[in-house]
Structure 1
Amino acid sequence: MVSHLTLAVLLFAGTALVGAKRIIGGEDTTIEEYPYIVQVETYRDWENLWRLGCGANILTTRWLMSAAHCFAGWNYRPDFRRIRAGTTIKNTGGSVHYVDYAINHPEYTVATRYDGDINVVRLLTPLVYTPVIQKATIVPQDYILPDNVPVVHAGWGHTTQGGSTSRILQHVEMYSINTELCRQRYLRLRETITDNMICAGLLDVGGRDACQGDSGGPLYAGGSENRVIVGVVAWGHGCANETYPGVSTRVASYTNWVRENAR
């Protein structure tokens, strides 16, 4: 884990993704660039098949970090979740590991509908580190992400709102948005932005965001050489909306909890 001072320097070292096309608004990438991310596959018993449901982040060979809402709901069962690590392609290749259990944060949905949307997930069988399966770095407890710094989403989620998930891992760069400004925007929808959330996007422009299927995946800061997970994809009003940016769980609010439970 990096120091607060080091991270502050790294945050301003981010470089734009070259040739980004108009995740949403992103471009193809490879697992070699993001070996810290895995796919979370959900078993659909009515179809008798596994489909991409969310993303997650490698903490250790046994533990992942994801979004609580990916491991909750009326039909959630641990044996209906598995992860696929070490592959660029959705639902293909890599290594598959089934879920033992998940620990959702105890404050999930308590204060507001979307607060505390973070968890840790234990695998039944351990990952094996390789060049395409690597431990992620998470932000220190209570670190404050500056406004207007480059941040990056990665995942296999929808590439258009209401569209289809991506066969190939995507990434997209945008910027962190002032929390109070984001809070005022979402008040128009009677939704609450808490200090445990990070808003990111292209405010009043739109076109770049995470979307369905990217939940639980990373929001990185620090540039391509020093990626640090500062957020976990959580929710938003649609995808890539110009008025209402995407919202991630602020990992720095929960770093100590994550470290205490993922061991």
Structure 2
Amino acid sequence: MAVLPLLILALLAGSAYSSPSRIVGGTVTSIDKFPSIVAVEFYSIWSGTWSQSCAANILTARYVLSAAHCFDGFLFDINYRRVRAGSSYRNTGGILANADHAYNHPTYGLNGYDGDISVIRLRTPLVYSPVVQQSVIVNQGFQIPDNLPVVHAGWGAISQGGPLSPVLLETTIFTINNQLCAARYLTLPWPQIVTENMICAGILDVGGKDACQGDSGGPLYYGNVTVGVVSWGHGCANATFPGVSTAVSPYTDWIIQTAV
């Protein structure tokens, strides 16, 4: 088994001062820049076709990291999920691998979207190439600082309720204080819970950049390090309510133990 790489803590520490979901306010990018991202495709029993609906990040040749809500639900069947790796384009190109088993975190579903993270085993291993590479994940327990520039990449909607992107997009946003974010979400008519296991990110009080529908399960990057998994938010690119990703660092040990 390939060794799952971890981030050296000093990388983030030295830079501390310098949302269920396509990318809003993004620019066209290439899989060459983000070779660890893969599209998660769903099979529709109604149309008999496959289509990208979530994303994931490569942990090893046999395992990818995604959001639990992409591998859950009344009609969920693991046989109706597959990943497409090594392509910049939605629903075309690259290489395909069917999903074999989803290991949703055991806390998922107990407290809103807390624990919205899943390790997915593939039936056949991915073949590494310049556009198919494993990710680096952050160390267990590391606290992501506020105002850190982070990047979303994905094929999701370009606006709330808008069309999905045919090509991979990226956008840079900034991490937002968790307590501030949590307080804002409690002001909604139907309050939402932001826990310490989540990362809020966006352009606070400005908006315009975010993950959106179709980006769920995709990575939140700091440099080439995966620090979050796109999870949920109030709309997309909202100025008041930032997008929310599951923080990877509370689950790093579990991820490593599971991806064996």
Distance 1:140 1:70, change over 3 A: same
2:233 is matched with 236
Counterpart check, 1:218 vs 2:219: yes
Task: In structure 1, give the amino acid aligned to 2:219.
Answer: P
- Correspondences of 1:129-208 after superposition (within 5 Å): 129-189=128-188, 190-208=191-209
Code of the aligned partner of 2:214: G
Q: CA deviation at 1:64?
A: 0.4
Deviations 1:61-107 (A, max 9, x none): 00000000000000110110000000001000100100111100000
Distance in structure 1 (CA, Å) of the matches to 2:39 and 2:16: 26
Report matched runs for 1:21-60 at 5 Å. 23-60=23-60
Shift of 1:7: 2.5
Following superposition, the deviation at residue 11 of structure 1 comes to 5.8
* RMSD of Structure 2 on Structure 1 (CA): 1.0
Residue 4 of structure 1 deviates from its aligned partner by: 1.2
Give the conservation status (yes or no) of the 8 Å contact 1:11–1:221.
no
Q: Which residue of the partner structure matches residue 18 of structure 1?
A: none
Q: How far apart in 2 are the matches of 1:58 and 1:197?
A: 20
Q: CA distance change for structure 1 residues 12 and 38 in 2, over 3 Å: closer, same or farther? A: farther
Query: Matches of 1:2 and 1:248 in 2, distance apart?
Result: 18
CA contact (8 A) 1:197 1:249 kept: yes
> Deviations 1:33-65 (Å, cap 9, x if unpaired)?
000000000000101111111000000000000
User: Which AA in structure 1 matches 2:199?
Assistant: I
User: Offset of 1:113 from its aligned partner?
Assistant: 1.2
Structure 1's unaligned 5+ residue stretches are 14-22
Matched with 1:109 is 109
Structure-2 separation of matches of 1:9 and 1:220? 16
Q: State the one-letter code of the partner of 1:66.
A: S
The separation in 2 between residues aligned to 1:232 and 1:156, in whole angstroms, is 15
Q: Which residue does the alignment assign to 1:256?
A: 253
Q: Which runs of 4+ in 1 moved over 6 A?
A: none
Q: Is the 8 A contact 1:38 1:57 kept in 2?
A: yes
User: Shift of residue 3 of structure 1?
Assistant: 1.8
**Gap regions ≥5 residues in structure 2:** 1-5
SS at match of 1:144: coil
TM-score, with length taken from structure 1: 0.93
Separation in structure 2 between the aligned mates of residue 193 and residue 57 of structure 1, nearest angstrom: 23
User: 2:122 corresponds to which residue?
Assistant: 123
SS of aligned partner of 2:185: helix
Aligned residues: 249
CA distance in structure 2 between the aligned counterparts of 1:12 and 1:133, rounded to whole angstroms:
32
